[in-house]
Amino acid sequence: MAIAKAERLMNLALCLLGTRRPLSKRELRESIEAYLEAGSDDSFNRMFERDKDDLRELGLVIETVENLDGEIGYLARRDSNRLPPITLDAEEAAALGLAAKVWQQARLAGAASGALQKLRAAGLPEDVDPYEAHGALEPRIPVHEAAFEPLMLACRDRRPVVFDYRKATAARPEPRHVEPWALECWRGHWYLAGWDRDRGAERVFRLSRITGKVRSRGGGFTARVPDVVTVRETVASWAGESADRSARIRLRTGAGYPLRAKATAVRELGEGWDELEIPYGHGLDAWLVEFGPDVVVLEPAELRADVVDRLRAVAKG
Let me know: does 51 contact 25? Beta carbons within 8 Å: no
CA distances 286 to 19, 61, 211, Å, are: 62, 56, 19
Residue at 104 is within a domain: yes
Last residue of a domain, one of 184, 203, 237: 237
Residue at 139 is within a domain: no
pLDDT tens, residue order, the chain (317 aa): 456 788 888 889 988 888 888 888 888 888 888 888 877 888 899 999 999 988 988 888 899 888 667 788 998 988 888 766 666 666 676 666 666 555 555 455 555 556 556 655 555 555 555 444 444 445 555 566 788 889 988 988 889 999 999 876 666 889 999 999 988 877 667 889 999 999 999 888 989 889 989 999 888 899 998 887 877 777 766 555 556 678 899 999 988 888 888 888 999 998 999 999 988 776 677 778 888 889 999 998 888 888 888 788 777 65
C-beta atoms surrounding 14 within 10 Å:
13
Residue at 207 is within a domain: yes
275: amino acid identity, one letter: E
The HSE-up count of residue 52 (CA atoms within 13 Å, CB side) is 19
128 and 159 fall within a common domain: no
Domain count, the chain: 4
164 and 226 fall within a common domain: yes
